Structure 1
Amino acid sequence: MIIRLISLLILLLSFTLSAQKGTKEIDQFVNKLDNQIPKLLNDFSVPGAGIAIIENGEIILLKGYGYSDIVKGTKVTTKTGFNIGSISKTVAAWGVMKLVQEGKIELDAPAEKYLTRWHLPKSEFDSDKVTIRRLLSHTAGLSLHGYPGWSPKDNLPTIEESLDGKNNGPGRVEIIMEPGTKWKYSGGGFTILQLIIEEVTKQKFEDYMQAEILNPLGMTNSSYTIDENILKASSLEHNNFGEVIDFELFTAKAAAGLHTTIEDFSKFALASLYKNKKYTQNILSTHSLELMMTPVPVSNDSYGLGYQKELMSTNMTIYGHGGANTGWQALFMINPDTNDGFVMLTNGGAGSNVFSQVICEWSHWLTDKESLDSCIVLPSIANKIKQIIDTKGVGDIKKLYFELKNNQQDKYNFSEGQLIDLGYYYLSKNKNDFAIAVFEISVEAFPNSFNAFDSYAEALLKQGEKKKAIENYKKSIKLNPENINGIRVLKKLGVTLENIKQ
């Protein structure tokens, strides 16, 4: 019996040791990323990034790559600021759960119990079924997926005004389906939670989060308030082509407004590893964190209370959140069972192409599997086409595009969305001729795409070519009779819709 126990202990020990990486393996992996990440940033026109990797409860890589300001030559450091988009929700969820632990909020109580400054609009559904738990898990049946930001020149609306629809486009927050029956992502739901935190604590949301969550975690260079200190340390933000764009602000701070650094957010990642004996925090209990990472039944095993659950191609289960605002892309994922974690913050609209490859490599490294070509994401053909157009114009652009598509299919991403994005980029710059040239390629390359014809028609209409625009809107509707935008535009132009859908 004793011999069998000893054998079992040896087996368990050997398994534990094999699951942990040695110094040499870690150094080799870090060197690989040091070589890979700059190339990826260049391939996808992302100026800079910060990365943190945790292995067995300890940080093995904490570093900045590339530039926060290309013109000034300012490099990204571990203290460079980034907006992290919807990852803000996960941090905000900590604020809610702390109040739950303190008995100031009940998870299964109606949100209306805590609201006085704003109330859910009346609907055919019972608003008492919109509970705190359902708001945290996106199962409250609410509208409003996400928020566009505001310019620093804008007068930002109040939380109540934003919930009522003054939010730059998405509309008011309302109940659109039976609460508790289906998962539907709602940034609006987290704005309600933002208001509830203010109602319960009698503090501004950002002040409560700073005092009760961020500062206790040592995240003193992070904030939901964008002040001069935050701006001074922040990277510039960039579009999909690496060009600087305007800084954005948010009333919906819980949903999208946290600004942080890779150094600070690595602390949050460590704090989320509730089984890690090498790091402790006194804000949330192990039970609370485990509950937050347990998917609710109607989420298709994908979403808990502020944390997403994802199964990697290597069969490794991870928890965390992604974040994307205009000019920013970020990803945060942990494995609490092995005390491993991954965080990557980028300052470019195409940043997800970078971190999707890096996290894939990380997953394969952790599971001792060869990544081979399975992690590769091809650079967008749009970047190549844009370089040609910006230097040589649009004269031969269609011919050059199809030459590249025929001869270099394995070198670029030729999916439909690449051309659509480039066309709208030129439309936003009022370079209508360039936009039309790009959309002409898209309708030829994707003749069965209603979106290609709809986009082409929009550019033609903006150029004043009404007759041709109408022809292409009609083609779009024939391909997709449910093309609401095309139908709306044609009605506005006084075009009869009979026989178009046949």
Structure 2
Amino acid sequence: MDEGRGSKQQVTTPAALDRFSTFPSGWISDLARLSPNQEPTVAAECRAHALRHPFGRSPGARRSRLSPEVAAIPRSTMRIPLTIAILSALAAPVTHAIEIDERSTALLVLGLAISPTAVAGDLEPPAYASNLRRTVQLDGAGGQRFAIEDRMRHYKVPGVSVAIVEGCRVVDARGFGYATPEGRPVRPETVFQAGSVSKVVASAGALTLVEDGLLLLDEDVSRHLGGWALPRTEAFDHSPVTLRQLLTHSAGLTVAGFNGYPVGARLPTLTEILEGKPPANTGPVQIETKPGTRWSYSGGGFMVMQAMMEEASQKSFQDLMREQVLLPAGMQHSVYHPLNEGSAVVDAATGTQADGTPIQGGWLQNPEYAAAGLWSSPSDLSRFAIELVRSMRGEKGALLEPGSAREMMRRQIGDWGLGLEVSPDGVPVKFSHTGATIGYRTLWLMFPETCQGATIMINADEGMALAYEVARGIADQYRWPDPMVSEHVAYIATTQEVSNLFIGTYQLRNFPAERFQVERRPGGDLTWSRLGRGHKHLVASSRDQLLSPDSGMRLVALERAEGTGIVDTLELRFPGGINIAERVKP
């Protein structure tokens, strides 16, 4: 251990230091750019306003709420007040323990904080890292607690990053494995594609515009779409679409998700995405079912929301989100634009396909920003979750007004609030969302009553099952309100005779293009895969049923060939749905 690391642990606890351990080192030079007459005013004003107040509320009022002296600081250095504000708010043990001037304290903390891996690296591995649990535990099998390294190999996952929230503080943030094929390790500040968790952050941005009076939750969106009009068939001519419906996936719109674009390819504009015109690789966003009548997941709806936000604010979505959400929430490593377009973020994880090979070019670009375009870190997303809880509690300077936050968390259709999933009645209150772009998986969850939660980000297609295994380990260590109990299932030997009854290729009855295989892999494992991608280990719970202990998926025999007993038709059961599948004849 070097002297710097030793002294760091003497001035504050690792848990306290973790809350500000990922500030860009470039902010030290920002502080140095303050003139002597600016410095005391900026420090005092930001200390008084804490984390959020240097930026006020509405886009037009944020800088005007600062004193004239502070407001005169150039836009490029507006990060300075936020830096000092967060340091002043979060580093109290340091400032109280060391009697030095404010600027020296801030510089000292920043100097100590720019190496976040030192915090994690100096500690013993966390208990959860050797106590992962699968979705299903097999009765009598034994040895069903796993080390994270073993499960990463099992899923062909190169890297995992985890941030844990306890008592409204990020108490642990660390990486496991590698961010790149060259062997660069995952660090707490390494960024990943957040996938659909982008929607949650964008939803908070939309709600700030509602608070500012620029948008209304229950107003027809057509008032804020500029020169573009949402296509309507005759059947829905008089059916208004509202922002509330967009946020709850009940607007009846098309385009569930997006495919990404190779690095270097021309990216479609927002209008091209909405209209489904080249180079957009998805169809047009349009009304498919009567708005407000049922839940149907639509990333396209969030692109309509992005258009509304830009029109209402007269700002680009990227600038708007940076001012309204990312900076006020302390998400200093998060960006809503492709990394090859001038981003200062360089510590990005390379995406990995289901077979374990890295994506050419490192990742695919996602210009559908509100729906899937956020790059972020687990610490940033956990800070955002904390801000939502603070907002719900009505704490001073929180990201949203209490009414907005509580409305966001209210179940409105199915298990959905405004932009996120909310737990059903009768179980511990939780808000959450998952994210999946090609090569990345994210699990983001929070228990607001105890302000506990975690964000887990993985740079692999087959990472979601692992993310939940990590979450179960964390739930055990930190005693979450929901213990995320694994299902216990009896099983029988998966003999060759049993395997032969199921081995083959199947297609979904209602979606014939969707096919999967049950096969025995070299080494003897029976697996399920989609067109050879993402092999899931299977065991037999009976002669009529196979299951995946990793995901909880089941294959249940419905019809068998006469004489042989070979399965011809089966039921594919998985969390969230059931499909009938039929054997594809040779």
Question: What residue number does 2:416 align with?
Answer: 303
Contact 2:430 2:446 in 1 (8 A): yes
User: Closer, same or farther in 2 for the Cα pair 1:273/1:28, shift >3 Å?
Assistant: farther
SS, match of residue 62 in structure 1 = strand
Q: Distance in 2 between matches of 1:343 and 1:34?
A: 18
* Counterpart among 349, 358, 365 of residue 235 in structure 1: 349
Question: What residue number does 1:95 align with?
Answer: 205
Question: What residue number does 1:192 align with?
Answer: 304
Question: What residue number does 1:266 align with?
Answer: 382
1:155 aligns to 2:266 (yes or no): yes
1:64 deviates by 1.1
1:291 deviates by 0.6
User: Closer, same or farther in 2 for the Cα pair 1:446/1:61, shift >3 Å?
Assistant: farther
Query: In the TM superposition, what whole-angstrom CA distance separates every residue of 1:194-228 from its partner, at most 9, and x where no partner exists?
Result: 11111111111111111221112121211102234
Q: Distance in 2 between matches of 1:196 and 1:344?
A: 31
* Counterpart among 307, 310, 333 of residue 445 in structure 2: 333
Percent of aligned pairs sharing the same letter: 28
Question: What residue number does 1:381 align with?
Answer: none
Question: What residue number does 1:31 align with?
Answer: 127
SS, match of residue 88 in structure 1 = helix
SS, match of residue 179 in structure 2 = strand
Query: In the TM superposition, what whole-angstrom CA distance separates every residue of 1:397-432 from its partner, at most 9, and x where no partner exists?
Result: x99639725xxx6xxxx3354846569xxxxxxxxx
Question: What residue number does 1:366 align with?
Answer: 480
1:41 aligns to 2:152 (yes or no): yes
1:265 deviates by 1.9
1:251 deviates by 2.4
Runs of at least 5 residues in structure 1 that lack an aligned partner in the other structure: 1-26, 376-397, 424-443, 453-476, 487-502
Contact 1:136 1:305 in 2 (8 A): yes
With normalisation by structure 1, the TM-score equals 0.68
Query: In the TM superposition, what whole-angstrom CA distance separates every residue of 1:357-407 from its partner, at most 9, and x where no partner exists?
Result: 1223333432496957759xxxxxxxxxxxxxxxxxxxxxx99639725xx
Greater percentage in strand: 2
1:279 deviates by 7.5
Q: Distance in 2 between matches of 1:231 and 1:449?
A: 50
Q: Distance in 1 between matches of 2:411 and 2:434?
A: 16
SS, match of residue 271 in structure 2 = helix
Runs of at least 5 residues in structure 2 that lack an aligned partner in the other structure: 1-122, 132-146, 490-517, 537-563, 573-579
Question: What residue number does 1:130 align with?
Answer: 241
SS, match of residue 404 in structure 1 = coil
User: Closer, same or farther in 2 for the Cα pair 1:267/1:447, shift >3 Å?
Assistant: same
Q: Distance in 2 between matches of 1:205 and 1:159?
A: 10
Query: In the TM superposition, what whole-angstrom CA distance separates every residue of 1:168-189 from its partner, at most 9, and x where no partner exists?
Result: 4431111111111100110000
Contact 1:46 1:241 in 2 (8 A): no
Q: Distance in 2 between matches of 1:446 and 1:60?
A: 53
1:251 aligns to 2:359 (yes or no): no
With normalisation by structure 2, the TM-score equals 0.59
1:191 deviates by 0.1
Contact 1:150 1:250 in 2 (8 A): yes
For 1:43-58, list aligned pairs within 5 A: 43-58=154-169
Contact 2:428 2:482 in 1 (8 A): no
User: Closer, same or farther in 2 for the Cα pair 1:278/1:129, shift >3 Å?
Assistant: closer
Contact 1:149 1:168 in 2 (8 A): no
User: Closer, same or farther in 2 for the Cα pair 1:243/1:402, shift >3 Å?
Assistant: closer
Contact 2:409 2:417 in 1 (8 A): yes
Q: Which amino acid aligns with 2:126?
A: V
Query: In the TM superposition, what whole-angstrom CA distance separates every residue of 1:128-163 from its partner, at most 9, and x where no partner exists?
Result: 521011011111111110011011222111111111
User: Closer, same or farther in 2 for the Cα pair 1:321/1:117, shift >3 Å?
Assistant: same
For 1:372-411, list aligned pairs within 5 A: 401=521, 404-405=524-525
Question: What residue number does 2:459 align with?
Answer: 347
Query: In the TM superposition, what whole-angstrom CA distance separates every residue of 1:316-374 from its partner, at most 9, and x where no partner exists?
Result: 33102110000000011111111111110111111101111122333343249695775
Contact 1:275 1:336 in 2 (8 A): no
Q: Distance in 2 between matches of 1:173 and 1:321?
A: 23
Q: Distance in 2 between matches of 1:34 and 1:243?
A: 26
